[in-house]
Chain A
Amino acid sequence: MTNSAPDRALSGGFSDMPVEAAQGFRSVLDALSRPGSIVRLNGATPPAPMSPAAGAVALVLLDNTTPLYLAPGHDTPALCAWIAFHTGAPLVSAETAMFALGTWPALQPVSRFAIGTADYPDRAATLIVETDRLDSSGGRLHGPGIETSARLSLPEIAAFRANHARFPLGFDTLFTCGDRLAGLPRSTQVESD
């Protein structure tokens, strides 16, 4: 078996789309509705540097109606081909993206991303942030979905505080690390301790 670029683009998707997408969505829904909780997301094997969890998010949520921004490092030909084949999402600039994928440093400045409008706060970007580390330590979280408080290893605090300060505007974030995922909606208050 060769593993040429076209082969790689065609493989690595869900083997049973309706069922795996349903399972994947519930994991994402669980993560976003309970900020700080970490869920597992399997089934996708995208080309590096995209993590399996981010790959599954792409298969669950992206299609030809969702403009996607690939940050530097994730805009490789192999990954572009994989996303094109499996989702058909058009690749666009950061300012017009509905979804964005990359590491936290590569996504900077995050002020570029759509935060919705006062009339339509839902027209905001979802950032898929690839991290090396994802655990229940670090920034303290309060807000909807959290019974008392939770902790999540965030790449920084200030940007997420500023993002929450604009509520109901703001972007929403999914953190991915290997096959694990956590959610941080704009409704969550973030404190350094």
Chain B
Amino acid sequence: MNDYNFAYLDEGTKRMIRRAILKAVAVPGYQVPFASREMPMPYGWGTGGVQVTAACLRPDDRLKVIDQGADDTTNAVSIRKFFQRTARVATTERTGDATIIQTRHRIPEAPLSEGQILVYQVPIPEPLRFLEPRETETRRMHALQEYGLMHLKLYEDIARHGEIATSYAYPVQVSGRYVMDPSPIPKFDNPKLSNCPALQLFGAGREQRIYAVPPYTQVISLDFEDHPFVATKAPHACDLCGDDGSYLDEVITDDAGRRMFICSDTDHCNSRRAAGHVGALTGDAA
């Protein structure tokens, strides 16, 4: 006997979230309001993503949860345990084996496939919010497709820094219509949003919004002809697996300022190391 309804939420709440998800899929990039519930974790810890995942989970799913690319950090471990306990679903750390992947701030390095759903945890879903604090105004700007303010912000980046300095939560336009916040993923991940075979769902619990990018949907990072979008990463190879194409975390290793760069995607790094790839500091770390 389980003490919880399947996937924690009551059926009425799941129906409400499911209806919001379907409208989000029908209008790609548009933020659908939903009656976000209090969850047994604080806002800011992925309550939006957890509610979307709970509404989507089936008993036969294999769930993967990542936090900044890692399967083994507090947030990821807690959410994985939460669904192990309340939905009794199988879990995995392998990107390719997962049917639902809940993520905080990364898209896995391994390409996603058609049978998968990627659920993003979103803190501030409104890309225009820091430019215009009034919800009534930002809603009107989306209705009129009036996104000049966002281009102005990127232009001011160039005027001040010589380049577009926005490096995460980089704004995108979905299917030629809505400008969307892809959640605070590094802009390195932005190209993976576009034409992805997997369904991408975004949940913002505190802000009570759900939005979606259907499979095979065009997602364009905003830019200018003379300052095109560039996906950037630290100019190093992973010190553990040697990959020079993956997104890296910089880790300070002692008080003398020594540092190492390691893949932020732990499954990607572990898989490569298991396959025999080595990095510059492989011996040191082991």
Contact = CB atoms under 8 A, between A and B. Distances in A.
A157 to B, nearest CB: 19
Interface in B3-38: 5-7, 11-12, 14-16, 18-28, 30, 32-33
A60 B55 CA distance: 11
For chain B, which range describes its interface: under 10, 10 to 19, 20 to 34, or 35 or more residues? 35 or more
Nearest to B35: A65
Contacts of B108: none
Contacts of B224: none
Interface string A5-35: 0000000000001110111011011001110
Interface string A54-87: 0000001111011000000000000000000000
A168 B21 contact: no
B58 A185 contact: no
B18 A168 contact: no
Contact of A119 (B7, B139, B214): B139
A185 B214 CA distance: 11
A23 B140 contact: no
Best-surrounded residue of B22, B33, B59 (most CB of chain A within 10 A): B22
Given A119-B139, A144-B175, A29 B23 contact: no
Interface residues of A, number: 37
Given A66-B19, A185-B26, A145 B216 contact: yes
A126 B27 contact: no
A124 interface: yes
B61 to A, nearest CB: 9
B59 A119 contact: no
Given A33-B214, A122-B33, A25 B26 contact: no
Contacts of B57: 22
B26 A32 contact: yes
Interface of A: 17-19, 21-23, 25-26, 28-29, 32-34, 60-63, 65-66, 118-122, 124, 126, 143-147, 167-168, 172, 185-187
Interface of B: 5-7, 11-12, 14-16, 18-28, 30, 32-33, 55-59, 139-140, 143-144, 175, 177-178, 197, 199, 212-217
Please name the 8 residue pairs, one residue from A and one from B, whose CB atoms are nearest each other, closest first: A18-B6, A185-B26, A118-B143, A145-B214, A122-B23, A144-B217, A144-B214, A172-B26
